[in-house]
Amino acid sequence: GHRLTWQAYHRLNDINGYLDYLAETYPELCSVSTIGSSVQGRPIKLLKISNGKKANKAVWIDGGIHAREWISPATVTYIINQIVLGYDNDPLLESADWYFAPILNPDGYEYSHSVDRLWRKNRRGSSFCAGVDLNRNFGHGWGGQGASSNPCVETYRGSGPFSEPETAAIRNFISSQTAVPWKAYLSFHSYGQYILYPWGYDRTLPSDYTDLDRVGRKAVEAIRQAGGPTYRLGSSGKLLYPASGGSDDWAKGQMGIKYAYTLELRDSGRYGFVLPAGFIQPTAKEAYAAVRAIVAEI
């Protein structure tokens, strides 16, 4: 294992090597496991950061659901680094058990590095109309608006809910941890600078949306305090567009994790998905501020 730089976008093996490095270097605090395998057999790795205190709240953070959104895994690993280095003597960090899956779509991520920079889906199937949009494949309202039944489309939902090993891996892991008191589910995407909460499958709001809005406002404020741009806040279905089968809807609707958010990182369209590496550090820094603000409130 080895460290990362956050001055360049790293390949899957380097990111997985970084997780191994943390588990080797901080064995009391960090542990790595593999929660599943991709269509092409690549491991989906999970890093847990915990001091073992029973009263801790549990926070899930994932990245890399969409292959081309490289700022997402870069930001998630940056947040991991900040938490590990700052863990001792920071009551906010110590009050949580942290679960990180930085790259949920490893096949697509590698494909976007080696073949097609703008690849989005996983790598199900062969060259002709390959791939399932993993963020249309989760099982809450699967098959509804904003998801396609056509494999040739960028938002192809798959043959059924959790048909893909990548979405099944996270479903199996989170639903197996029945004793874990999940409080937040945070999924990092790009781009657009949004903090989104359920529902995404249509324009309705959850009954407790005022809580999600209040905590989301703290995150928006923290990003601005950290020197970042003003992120927009709202429900996915109303602020962005209705899109069914998303991970956030599943986390809230099926797993009962109250504070479920999708964070759309920088930028607002100048570079879009092809955000230059020089933006990794400012983007990740403001995202870490947002995570702290959310965890402080829940």
Out of 69, 110, 264, 286, pick the active-site residue.
Answer: 264
| Only segment of 8-16, 52-60, 238-246, 280-288 that touches ligand 0X9 (CB under 6 A) | 238-246
| Only segment of 23-31, 80-88, 124-132, 244-252 that touches ligand 0X9 (CB under 6 A) | 244-252
Q: Does 202 bind ligand 0X9 (CB under 6 A)?
A: no
Phi–psi pair at 175, nearest 5 degrees: -75, -20
What does 200 bind: Zn ion, ligand 0X9, none (CB cut-off 5 to 8 Å by kind)? ligand 0X9
What does 62 bind: Zn ion, ligand 0X9, none (CB cut-off 5 to 8 Å by kind)? none
Q: Are 29 and 10 a contacting pair, CB within 8 Å?
A: no
| 264 catalytically annotated | yes
Among 110, 249, 267, 286, binds ligand 0X9 (CB under 6 A): 249
Counting residues that bind ligand 0X9 (by CB under 6 A) gives: 14
Cβ-proximal residues to 134 (8 Å cutoff; 6+ apart), any chain: 65, 66, 104, 105, 121, 122, 164, 166, 167, 247
| Nearest alpha-carbon partner for 64 in 115, 11, 20, 24 | 11
Q: Does 66 bind Zn ion (CB under 5 A)?
A: yes
**Could you tell me the smallest distance in angstroms from the CB atom of residue 92 to Zn ion?**
27
For the window 71-110, what string marks contact with ligand 0X9 as x by the rule CB under 6 A? ----------------------------------------
| Smaller CB separation from ligand 0X9, 120 or 292 | 120
Q: Are 252 and 40 a contacting pair, CB within 8 Å?
A: no
What does 219 bind: ligand 0X9, Zn ion, none (CB cut-off 5 to 8 Å by kind)? none
**Measured between alpha carbons, how far is 60 from 98 in angstroms, rounded to an integer?**
6
Q: Does 248 bind ligand 0X9 (CB under 6 A)?
A: yes
- Encoded tokens for 204: 């309705």
> Binding residues for ligand 0X9, per CB under 6 A?
66, 69, 135, 189, 196, 200, 236, 240, 243, 246, 248-249, 262, 264
Residues that are catalytic: 264
> Binding residues for Zn ion, per CB under 5 A?
66, 69, 189
